[in-house]
């Protein structure tokens, strides 16, 4: 086996040169993990790299956890897992998986790195948050199973992550190594519960970059024989594909040494290294055990066969108009406190905080106007203040709390407002320490969720969801 097939590089549209990707494809890499792009760009890329690959099938993957819209501007943003947790509706979870799968396959992407099975049980976790179905393992299992069924019916491969679970950590593994202090018995009683239940449905398992010193004081889970082999393979009897989380993440140090350790621990695929060519050169000089190559080739061949057994739909069919996101919003949005009802002709002062520059509350504000309510930017003093919080998880940021400038703006506004209502479009914990009278939780900044939140505040809808986490 060509060592290159062990490696699945990342490709960032608008950043990674196409010539570099084509050269890697010709060299025999096993696949690519995509970031960004448009529908046309993704479809063109998948066709181009496959046309030059010597492999029978080149696997193309992406982190389409909330549908393709999390990465593609011309694809719909689907409800977050936490929104589905608030709706607690297995049919919605199935539909999300099916829609994600059809849209991905229509563009040539055949492997979706989802679902996240981490439990949302730590408000300070900067990277799990709304990616989780909630804090209750039983709910995560129910919804995760339905989502996996949808992905399978739509013809894509899945990947449960991040084994063995890093919900109760406070470090972004893109920047440093999270630490989870758990005994094996504690893991089996909590974090591992969803994995143990859903491993029979998993096409692959993504190892988390996190330290569990009680299980292995020397290696993170992604590089640990005790965890990747002893726990996952032997005690949980998982025999499918195991892959690392992205090797370029800062949690694991030198990626060549990390790659070698991961392969020895039982990983079959090395995902998204910083320098894929250098890593392949390194592997070609290493005396990697033949059984490691044989195992990787066997599991990748099996994955390819599974994908090719289900034909891909056309883009026209996959992206046909759907009421799915709007229906999900009506079941998912939750509230705390007796909400005010905004009346036509009423003027409401609002303060927008927590935006990452890519999201805004524009759909919400437009929906208020459509119902006859006039939102105006807060200008220093008001009787009724509407706080619009867009803070959400972001890789490589290291924290989920509001930035200092937003905290200061919020404190000043609260000091000059009589009544307060907040709409949290992502993280439900973003205003946990803030004295706000009324709270609306959408768990998603998708336009349909914003529009539905406006309808709720205008008395046109009820907030039907229930918080799947403790505040």
Active site residues: 174, 245
φ, ψ for residue 368, nearest 5 deg: -60, -45
Distance CA 288, CA 51 (A): 29
Q: Which helix (H) or strand (E) holds 448?
A: helix 447-457
Strands 111-112, 59-62: pairing kind: parallel
Which tokens in the block code for residue 87?
């709706």
Distance CA 141, CA 144 (A): 5
Across 99-240, the runs of DSSP E, i.e. the strands, are 111-112, 160-163, 204-207
φ, ψ for residue 408, nearest 5 deg: -65, -45
Is the CA virtual torsion 414, 420, 425, 431 positive or negative? positive
> CA-CA distances (angstroms) from residue 82 to 112, 123, 164, 246, 468?
18, 13, 19, 23, 7
φ, ψ for residue 90, nearest 5 deg: -65, -30
Neighbours of 259 (CB within 10 A): 25
Asked if 232 and 205 touch (Cβ cutoff 8 Å), the reply is yes
Exposed/middle/buried for residue 275 (C-beta within 10 Å: 0-12, 13-18, 19+): middle
- The conformation of residue 117, written as its DSSP 8-state character, comes to -
Asked if 111 and 58 touch (Cβ cutoff 8 Å), the reply is no
22-28 long-range contacts, CB within 8 A, separation 24+:
22/48, 22/49, 22/52, 24/276, 24/277, 25/49, 25/50, 25/52, 25/53, 25/58, 26/52, 26/53, 26/54, 27/2, 27/277, 27/280, 28/2, 28/4, 28/53, 28/54, 28/55
Distance CA 31, CA 22 (A): 11
């Amino acid at each position: 086996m060509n060592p290159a097939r062990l490696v699945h590089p990342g490709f960032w549209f608008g950043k990674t040169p196409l010539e570099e990707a084509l050269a890697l494809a010709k060299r025999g890499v096993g696949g690519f993990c995509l970031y960004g792009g448009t529908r046309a760009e993704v479809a063109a890329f998948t066709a181009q790299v496959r046309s030059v690959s010597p492999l029978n099938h080149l696997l193309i993957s992406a982190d389409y956890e909330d549908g393709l819209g999390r990465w593609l501007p011309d694809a719909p943003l689907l409800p977050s897992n936490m929104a589905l947790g608030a709706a607690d509706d297995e049919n919605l979870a199935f539909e999300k998986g099916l829609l994600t799968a059809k849209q991905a396959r229509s563009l040539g992407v055949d492997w979706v790195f989802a679902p996240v099975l981490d439990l949302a049980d730590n408000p300070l976790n900067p990277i799990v948050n709304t990616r989780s179905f909630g804090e209750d393992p039983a709910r995560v299992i129910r919804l995760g199973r339905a989502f996996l069924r949808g992905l399978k019916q739509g013809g894509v491969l899945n990947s449960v992550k991040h084994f063995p679970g890093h919900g109760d950590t406070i470090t972004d593994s893109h920047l440093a190594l999270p630490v989870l202090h758990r005994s094996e018995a504690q893991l089996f009683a909590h974090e591992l519960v969803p994995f143990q239940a859903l491993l029979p449905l998993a096409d692959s398992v993504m190892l988390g970059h996190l330290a569990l010193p009680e299980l292995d004081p020397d290696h993170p889970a992604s590089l640990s024989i005790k965890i990747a082999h002893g726990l996952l393979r032997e005690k949980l009897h998982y025999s499918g594909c195991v892959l690392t989380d992205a090797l370029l993440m800062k949690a694991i140090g030198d990626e060549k040494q990390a790659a070698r350790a991961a392969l020895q621990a039982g990983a079959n695929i090395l995902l998204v290294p910083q320098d894929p060519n250098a890593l392949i050169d390194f592997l070609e000089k290493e005396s990697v055990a033949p059984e490691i190559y044989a195992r990787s080739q066997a599991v990748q061949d099996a994955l390819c066969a599974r994908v090719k057994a289900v034909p891909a739909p056309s883009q026209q069919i996959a992206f046909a108009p759907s009421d799915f996101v709007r229906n999900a919003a009506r079941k998912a949005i939750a509230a705390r406190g007796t909400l005010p009802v905004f009346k036509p002709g009423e003027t409401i002062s609002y303060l927008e905080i927590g935006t990452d520059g890519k999201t805004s509350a524009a759909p919400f504000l437009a929906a208020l106007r459509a119902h006859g309510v006039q939102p105006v930017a807060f200008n220093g003093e008001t009787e009724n203040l509407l706080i619009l919080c867009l803070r959400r998880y972001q890789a490589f940021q290291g924290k989920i709390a509001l930035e200092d400038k937003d905290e200061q703006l919020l404190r000043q506004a609260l000091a000059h407002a009589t009544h307060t209502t907040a709409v949290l479009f992502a993280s439900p914990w973003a205003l946990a320490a803030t004295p706000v009278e009324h709270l609306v939780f959408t768990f998603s900044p998708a336009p349909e969720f914003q529009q539905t939140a406006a309808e709720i505040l205008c008395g046109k809808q009820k907030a039907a969801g229930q918080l799947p986490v403790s505040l």
